Amino acid sequence: MALHRKHILSGFLGLVVTGSFAAGVFEPELKAQGSLPDTIFSLRPEGGKELDPARTYNKVLDILNEKYVGDNLPSARKLTYTAIRGLLNAADDPYTRFLDPDEFRQLKEENDGEFDGIGATLEPQPTKEGYIKVLRPVPGGPAETAGVKRGDMITKIDGKPTTGLDVDEAVKLIRGKAGTIVKLSIKRSGQAALVEKAITRRPVELPILEYRMLEGGVGYISLLQFNEVSDRKIELAVRDLEAKGMKALVFDLRGNPGGLLTSAIDISSRFVKPGSDVVWIEEAQESDRKKTNGRVRYLGERWPFTILVNRTSASASEIVAGAVKDNKTGTVIGATTFGKGLVQTLMPLDDGSAVLITTAKYLTPSRGDINRSKTQRGGVVPDIEVEVTEGQFLKGEDPQLKKALEHLHQKIGYTKTGKNTTGAPKNP
Amino acid sequence: MRRREQFMWISAMVLCLAPFAFFAGLGMRGLYRSFATERLDTGAGDGLTRLASANPRVPDTDTRPQFLYMDVLNKLKLWSVEGVPNDTRLAHGSVEAMLNSLDDPNTRLVSPTEAKALRDATLGQFHGLGAVLTIQRYNERAVAETAKANLPGVLGTKPKPENPGIKTVTVVSVLPGSPAETAGLQAGDRITEIDGHWVAPTHVSYRILTQIIDPAGIQDGRPRSPEELPEQPITPDPDREKFRKEQEEVSKRWQTATDLSTALTDLNGGMQGEHEITFQRGVPAKTQKVKVTFGVTRPELVSSRKINETTGYLRVLLFNPETVKQAGEALGKLQADGAKSLVVDLRGNPGGSMDAARQFAGLLIGNGKFMVVKERDAARALTERVVTAQGPAKFKPATLSVLVDRGTAGSAELVAAALRDNLGTPLVGGSTFGDGTEQELAILQDGSGISITRARTLTAKRLDFDGKGLRVDVPATGDPVEDAVKALAAPAPAAPASAVKGARNSGA
C-alpha cells in the first residue's frame, strides 16, 4: 500500500512541475547551418541524466510552437494525442493504447453491442469496381425495411462516390445519429439503373449469440462477444434448447474476440464445477488473486459439452477454454487460440478520450501462461486439434464443428439413422 | 454493421474490465481512493455515466492537453502490470511520435550518439562513415520527371503533398579521406540497407511488428454459414496466393528492419569495424553494395595555393569560426604573394555555422545581402528577414569564380549564391545539393537532441533552392579547377536583368 501512496505523490509532484518549467532554460552553444544543424542548444541539466517525460513533452510543444517553420502545425491537442500514443507505444505492450474521442465512441458502440446505423453487414473488401457490397441486412433493421438486399452494391453515400473509400471509411459515413437520414445509391446485379434509398438511422443491435439444434439432440450456441448481456442470453438459449430435448452442447467461441472479464468469469462458471478454479489474475503490486467458481450452476452435470475455438478466439474466450481444458469438464476442439493473457482496463479521460492500459495478466487454473509474446506463441491448445483448410473454408465446410458433433454423438450414444434433424438457424 | 471478420483484428485486443469494475477495484486500493474520489468530485471520474451515454457531455474539468498527458503518464505508471520502461524511454517515445507526425523529415529526435557526432562534425571531426547525412523524402517519379526535364545534377522537384515519397537516408557530402570516399559513395546516394537490414522509413515498434508478423489468415472467425457465403462461390486463385507470398516477404523485411534514427546513429559512430552498405544512385535507381570500414575522419578544412602567377585558389570544406579565421589568413597570404584573381572551391562543403558563412562571404562582398530568412514570429505568422554578410571585405579580386558540386549544401550554397548575386561571380561545376532549410538542435540532458526545422533560407535574390539546388553557370567539362580558372570573371554589381537570369539559372 505504501507503494501506492508513493505513486500518487510522484504524480502530484509531476503536476506541480508542469506549470513551472516553461521558462527559458536554453543556452546557445554553437551555430551551424544546413545539413548540419544551424544551431546547437544545450538544456542546462537539472538533476541527473534521466529525462522527465512530461517536461520533455511540454518543451517540445513549446519549441514547435515557437520555432517550427513548417505549415500545418497540428493543434496542441492533436500533438498531445500523438505524444500520448508515443508514450504508450514506448511501453511496448500492444494492448496498451490511446483512444481519441472518436475511437472511444466507436469502441463503446462495439462493446455495448448497439449503435446508431442502418443495420447491415458489409463485405470487408470493396468490389473490383470500388463499390461497397452489402453482405447481409440485419433482419428487421432499417436497411432491410427500406428494401436493401444481400449483394447490393453501394455506389454513393449521401451523394459521395464510394470508389476509393475503404470499408471503414464507408462505415463512418453510413453511421450517424438515430433519426437522421442517409441516402444510398445502390447498384443491383442484373439491373442497369441505380436504386436510390433514403434510410433513417436507428439504434441497431449487434447480434451477441446465435443458437440452433443440430443432429441427434446436440444443441449449438455460438457466442460472438462477452458483454453485460452475454451470460443472460446463454441462459435463455440453454433453456430453449433443453425444452427441445438437448442432450449435449457445442459452445462455439470461434471468432470471438473477447469482451468483459466479469462476463468471461460468469460464463466460465457454467462450464466448471462449483469450487473449481476458473482463472488466476495477477495485477501490478497485488498478490495473485484466484477466481474460483462460487456459483452452483454447472451445466456439465446435465449433459456433455465441447468448446470450439480457433485462432481468433481471444482473451475472454481463452479464459473459458482454458478453464474447461484445465478442469477437464469438457472437450476443447479446433485450432490453437489467439494467445492474449492480458487484461486491459478502460480509463476514460477528461476530454472524452480514453486509455486502455494492461492492468493485469491472467493464467489458466493450472497456472499456464497463454499470452503470445516475443518468446512464445501462446494460446490454448485444444484437446482435439482440427484445422480448416482454405478450400474447406471457401466452400463453407466446417470440419471443426463436424468433429465436435461426432465427439458428442459418441458420448451420448447417438448413431446416424440417415434422417437429418438439423434445425433451421434461429435468432434469439 | 461491419462484418466481424473485418474488425476482429483490432477488437481481438480488447478484453477490458467495465468501468464499474474499474471503480469497484478502487475499493481494494484504499489509498488510491482519495485520489479517485477527488476526481469524482470534479466530475471527471463519472466514467460509468459517460461510458453508457452515447454523447459524452461537455467536460467541465481542466482538459488542457498538458494535464491530459500527465494524467495518462500517471495512470500508466500506477496501473500497468507489465512494468513501465524508464522515463527517458517514455520521453523519447512521446517526442519521436510528435516530431514524426509533422511533414518535415528533419524535424526529429536525434540519438545521443548522433547528437555528439553532429556537434563534432561542426568542429571538423566526422565519425563513422565520414559523410554528412540527411533525411530526404525520395519520390522516384518526381526525380524521373526532373531527369526528363534535363536539369543536370538536380536531385528532384519537391515531392508533392499527395505523394510525399519515402523518407530515406541521403548522403549530402562525402568528406575527403573518409571511409565513405574510400568506398566510393557520392553526394545524393540514398542508403537503403545496413548489413542487409532495410532502413525502414519509420520507427518499428513491437505493436507494429506483432501486427505485421501475424496478418489475419483465413481462420478469422467461424467458417461462414452458407447464407453468408457470396453468391458466386470463391475459388482459390493464383492472385490470392501471389498476394500472400508478397505479404510474407514484406513482413520478413519489416521483421529484420532497422529504422531511420538507428541507421543515422549507426552511420554516425554508433557502429565500428567493417559493414556492408546498400545504396541507390541515379534515375532509375541503381542499387549497389559496398563494404565500408568505419572510423574517424579529420579532413583538412581550409587549403590554399597559387594556381598560376596571378590566380589564387582557396578551398573551404566547412564553415565554423576557426575555418573562417584560417580562410581570412589564407586570403591575406595569397594577396601578399601577388594573387589578383581567385577561385573559391566550395565542393563537398556541407555548410556549417551560419555566422561563420556570413563572415566568410563578408571577406569578399563586404556588407552585401547574404540571404533572406523565412521564419515564424510570436503569432506563428511567416515573416521574412534580410540578412547581410559581415564585412568589411578583405580581398577584392580582379576576377573571381566559385566551384560547387552536389556536395555543396546549406550555408555553402548561400555563400555561392551570395557571391553570384552580389558580384556576378559565375558558379562552376555541378548543381548543388539544395538544402534551403535551417535546423536547430536542442540537446536534452540525456544527450539526445531535438532537431527542428526553424527557418527556410532563400538566396539574396529570393530564390528558393530547397530540394532543387543551384544550377551552375558553367558546367564542368574537364578538370573542374581548370574550368573554374577559365570561367574567372570580373566582379560586377549585378545588372537588373540578371535577377531573371539568376532565377532561370538556378534550376528552379
Q: What is the CA radius of gyration of chain B?
A: 29
What is the model's pLDDT at position A120?
82
Rounded Cα distance between A346 and A98, Å, is 10
| Beta strand A39-43 pairing with A26-31 | antiparallel
Residue A346: in which H helix or E strand, if any?
strand A342-348
Strands (E), A150-287: 153-157, 160-161, 181-187, 195-200, 202-205, 209-214, 218-223, 248-252, 277-283
Q: Active site includes A340?
A: yes
- Residues of A336-370 as b/e, b for ≥16 C-beta within 10 angstroms? bbbbbbbbbbbbbbbbbbbbbbbbbbbbbbeebbb
What is the model's pLDDT at position A284?
73
Q: Tens digit of pLDDT for each residue in B322-348?
A: 999 999 999 999 999 999 999 999 999
Instruction: Report DSSP state, residue B44.
Output: S
Residues of A in contact with B47 (CB under 8 A): 346-348
Rounded Cα distance between B340 and B330, Å, is 14
CB A234 within 8 A of CB A267: yes
Rounded Cα distance between B232 and A123, Å, is 14
Rounded Cα distance between B68 and B94, Å, is 13
- Residues of A244-272 as b/e, b for ≥16 C-beta within 10 angstroms? eebbbbbbbbbbbbbbbbbbbbbbbbbbb
Determine which one of A315, A317, A325, A403 is catalytic: A315
Cell output for A184: 444510398
What is the model's pLDDT at position A1?
29
Count Cα neighbours of A405 within 13 Å in the Cβ-side half-sphere: 18
What is the model's pLDDT at position A380?
95
Nearest by CB: B88 against A35, A51, A372: A51
Q: Active site includes A35?
A: no
Spatial neighbors of B234 by CB under 8 A, at least 6 apart, are A394
Q: Which of A336-345, B25-34, B149-158 has the lowest mean pLDDT?
A: B25-34
Q: What average pLDDT does range B30-59 have in this prediction?
A: 28
CB B286 within 8 A of CB B299: no
Q: Please tell me whether residue B178 adopts helix, strand or coil conformation.
A: coil
Q: Write the CA distances from B348 to B4, B136, B149, B345, B409, integer angstroms.
A: 58, 18, 25, 9, 8
Q: Which residue's C-alpha cell is 434448447?
A: A241
What is the model's pLDDT at position B429?
95
Record: contact A68-B454, CB cut-off 8 A: yes
Strands (E), A216-325: 218-223, 248-252, 277-283, 289-292, 305-309
Rounded Cα distance between A48 and B444, Å, is 11
Task: Quickly state the pLDDT bin for B142 (edges 50, 70, 90).
Answer: low
Q: Give residue B367's Cα distance to chain centre.
A: 32
Rounded Cα distance between B383 and B364, Å, is 28
Q: Is the pLDDT of residue B138 over 70?
A: yes
Q: What average pLDDT does range B372-379 have in this prediction?
A: 94
Record: contact A35-B173, CB cut-off 8 A: yes
Rounded Cα distance between B94 and A90, Å, is 8
What is the model's pLDDT at position B228?
53
If one counts every other C-beta atom within 10 angstroms of the C-beta of residue A415, the result is 7
Record: contact A119-B80, CB cut-off 8 A: no
Residue, of B42 and A306, whose pLDDT is higher? A306
Q: Which residue's C-alpha cell is 471520474?
A: B45
Q: Write the CA distances from B122 to A40, A235, B63, B401, B442, integer angstroms.
A: 10, 74, 43, 26, 15
Q: What percent of chain B has pLDDT over 70?
A: 71
Residues of B in contact with A8 (CB under 8 A): 31-32, 35, 78
Cell output for B458: 532563400
**Mean pLDDT, all residues of chain B:** 77
What is the model's pLDDT at position B227?
53
Instruction: Report DSSP state, residue B228.
Output: G
Q: What angle do CA B404, B406, B412 make, to 5 degrees?
A: 55
Rounded Cα distance between B508 and B434, Å, is 10
What is the full per-residue pLDDT of chain A (428 aa) written as tens digits? Answer: 232 222 222 222 222 222 222 222 232 233 333 367 767 777 655 557 889 999 999 999 999 999 999 988 999 999 999 999 999 988 878 788 899 998 888 777 766 667 788 888 777 667 777 888 887 787 778 888 888 888 888 999 998 888 877 777 888 888 888 889 999 999 887 788 888 889 999 888 777 888 999 999 999 999 988 888 899 999 999 999 999 999 999 999 988 888 888 899 999 999 999 999 999 988 876 666 778 887 878 998 899 999 999 888 888 999 999 999 999 999 999 999 988 888 888 899 989 999 989 888 899 999 999 988 778 888 999 999 998 887 777 777 889 999 999 999 999 998 876 544 444 333 33
Record: contact A397-B31, CB cut-off 8 A: no
Q: Please tell me whether residue A294 adopts helix, strand or coil conformation.
A: coil
Rounded Cα distance between B287 and B280, Å, is 4
Nearest by CB: B2 against A29, A35, A121: A121
Nearest-CA distance A199 → chain B (Å): 14
Nearest by CB: A15 against B70, B357, B410: B70
Range among B136-145, B166-175, B239-248, B487-496 rated most confident: B166-175
Q: Is the pLDDT of residue B246 over 80?
A: no
Q: Which of A104-108, A393-397, B275-279, B402-406 has the lowest mean pLDDT?
A: A393-397
Q: Write the CA distances from A295 to A266, A315, A410, B178, integer angstroms.
A: 9, 22, 30, 75
If one counts every other C-beta atom within 10 angstroms of the C-beta of residue B233, the result is 9
Q: How much is the pTM?
A: 0.77
Q: Write the CA distances from A311 to A125, A337, B171, B220, B251, integer angstroms.
A: 21, 4, 46, 7, 19
Kindly give the residue spans of alpha helices, DSSP state H, lying in A119-210.
142-145, 167-174
Q: What average pLDDT does range B167-180 have in this prediction?
A: 93
Q: Write the CA distances from A417 to A215, A402, B434, B451, integer angstroms.
A: 10, 16, 83, 77
Determine which one of A152, A269, A326, A353 is catalytic: A326
What is the model's pLDDT at position B234?
52
Q: Provide, for chain B, the percentages of residues in helix, strand and coil under a 3-state DSSP scheme, each rounded to the nearest 5.
A: 35, 25, 40
Instruction: Report DSSP state, residue B70.
Output: H
Q: Which residue of A has its CA nearest to B116?
A: A40
Cis peptide before B284 (omega within 30 of 0): yes
Q: How many residue contacts between A and B have a Cβ separation below 8 Å? A: 512
Rounded Cα distance between B266 and B127, Å, is 10
Q: Tens digit of pLDDT for each residue in B211-237?
A: 544 443 433 445 555 455 555 555 556
Rounded Cα distance between B155 and B347, Å, is 16
Cell output for B482: 581548370
Q: Is the pLDDT of residue B487 over 90?
A: yes
Residues of A in contact with B96 (CB under 8 A): 86
Residue B286: in which H helix or E strand, if any?
strand B286-293
Nearest-CA distance A274 → chain B (Å): 23
What is the model's pLDDT at position B309?
92
What is the model's pLDDT at position A36?
73
Q: Active site includes A315?
A: yes
What is the model's pLDDT at position A113?
64
What is the model's pLDDT at position A128?
74
Q: Is the pLDDT of residue B159 over 70?
A: no
Nearest-CA distance B271 → chain A (Å): 20
Instruction: Report DSSP state, residue B163.
Output: S
